[in-house]
Every structure is written in structure tokens, then in C-alpha cells.
Amino acid sequence: MDLSLVPLSKLVKEPYSTILGYPKATKRELTSRVVELRKLGIKGISFTGQAMLNSLGILGKGYVGVVVLSKYKTKEVALKIRRIDSSRAEMDSEARLLRLANEVGVGPKIIANSKNFMIMEYLEGKKIVDWIGELKGKGSAAKLKSVVKKVLEDCYNLDKIRLDHGELSHIHKHVIIGKSISILDFESASVNRRVSNVTSATQSIFIGSGISKLVKKIIKEPQRGKLITSLRKYKEDQSRKNFEAILQVLGLEKA
């Protein structure tokens, strides 16, 4: 993506200041954040993205922060900016959890973080729901099975390290398909609750959601009774054997 960079010096002025200090920051807070970005090695921000916030393009917005396309040293990155009104006082805890996910090959790679910012690998692609909606023609079933299996394998790897993503029941918002397949946004993640990544993602993809309606048009719908039974067994014992039993019910074991 060709970056049209807004330099750091301009971020303290409207309309850019509303993103740097969303929803509203003091001049002192804005100036401090610019200094913080400079120390991190950020060169500027490109207000490009499918989401819009105050008439500016962004990559996404959550309860904790706003994500924008940025330039770090010589490469494009995703920059997460902590919201002024966030209940979190810093980005360290989320950064630590993303690093943990990275250890098992899940999520965008984290590059650096500070109190108010987190720099991550920029992954260009489509949300899983849009990608599935555009699947057509010969081979679409095999492609879909391959993607879903990769997503569930990532979920299993998160379950193994006891890291619960927390939002995979709304998987349409949190998986991107491009050159790679990645689970995004660990701001609701925790290691202090029972993990349910595989069960939440499976239910979101195959049982009663917008995505499930698209999926059943492309691949054979699993027998609900068998699927629920296999999910219950996995919930009781999150072993590889029980995970593979879920894949078998879904028809993904050879995908």
C-alpha cells in the first residue's frame, strides 16, 4: 500500500488530533504522545482504511484503542493508539498477551510498545466474513475448508497455552484472510479465565451466525448433534485427540 504520511508534527492539529487522542485529548497529552511516537521510531501516520472515524480512514476501533496504518523506520505497520477514555492505563498488558500468542505462531507479530501505543505487523486482507461471501466456483469448498482448519488450529494452539482470546464468538470481526490467515485483536484476551477459543470459533463458524449461513452454502453442514457432543467432550478435556474429533465431524481432518 502506498503511504500518504501525515508527519508527527501535524498530528497535534485537527482533524488528526482526534485520532491521536481519541475521543478528546488536551494539548499536553497530544504533545506527550508525539514525543512517545518519535521515541518508538514512528515516522508518520497514513489515514487509510475501510473504517472511518471523524472522516478519516482507519484500520479499526475497539474499546481500548484505535488502529491506524503507519510507518515504522522503513516499513508499513499497524499502530494501535490507546484511547484517552480507555479503562486501561497502559498498553503493556495487551502487548504481553500478544507476545504470548506470537510464541505459538498466532496473531500479527508485535514489534514494540510503549504506554500509549503498540506497533504490530500490518496484515493486509479481508475480514473472514467478506472473504467467504466472495468465494465462488470450482475449488471454493477446498479453499474454505483449508482456511477454517487453519483458524481452528490457531485456536487450539491458544487453548494449549491457556490464552483465551475472548471475542471469537464474533469471529467475523477478528480473523483476516490475505497472504496469511490471522486472528486479530487481543485487547479482550486473558490468561485468567477458562479458555474457549476452539469452541467459540467453531460455534461462530458453524452454528447460528451470519458466517454459518454463508458456510453452509459452500460446504456440507455438519450434523449438529455430533458437533455439539464433540465440542462438549473437548470442553471437558482439551486434548489433541478431542480436537481432531471436532475436525472429523466438520469434515476438515484432511483439509
pLDDT of residue 208: 75
One domain for residues 97 and 204: no
Q: Return the SS3 of 78.
A: strand
Quote the cell numbers at residue 208: 447460528
Range 15-27 average pLDDT: 97
One domain for residues 160 and 242: yes
255 lies in some domain: no
Of the residues 74, 104, 121, the one at which a domain ends: 121
Q: What is the pTM of this model?
A: 0.94
One domain for residues 130 and 240: yes
pLDDT band at 254 (very low <50, low <70, confident <90, very high): confident
One domain for residues 66 and 168: no
One domain for residues 87 and 151: no
- In tens, the pLDDT along 70-113 reads 999 899 999 999 999 999 999 999 999 999 999 999 999 999 99
One domain for residues 132 and 115: no
- In tens, the pLDDT along 144-186 reads 999 999 999 999 999 999 999 999 999 999 999 999 999 999 9
pLDDT of residue 3: 65
- In tens, the pLDDT along 183-241 reads 999 999 999 999 999 999 999 999 977 899 999 999 999 999 999 999 999 999 999 99
Q: Is the peptide bond before 23 cis (omega within 30 degrees of 0)?
A: yes
Distance CA 132, CA 215 (A): 7
Of the residues 106, 121, 136, the one at which a domain ends: 121
79 lies in some domain: yes
Q: Return the SS3 of 118.
A: strand
Widest distance between CA atoms in the chain? 59
CB 84 within 8 A of CB 25: yes
Quote the cell numbers at residue 61: 476501533
212 lies in some domain: yes
- Residue 74: CB atoms within 10 Å: 7
One domain for residues 100 and 169: no
- CATH code of the domain covering residue 69: 3.30.200
Expressed as residue numbers, the domain containing 139 is 125-250
Distance CA 172, CA 129 (A): 5
Q: Number of folded domains in the chain?
A: 2
One domain for residues 47 and 99: yes
Of the residues 121, 156, 174, the one at which a domain ends: 121
105 lies in some domain: yes
Q: Is the dihedral of CA 106, 172, 190, 242 positive or negative?
A: negative
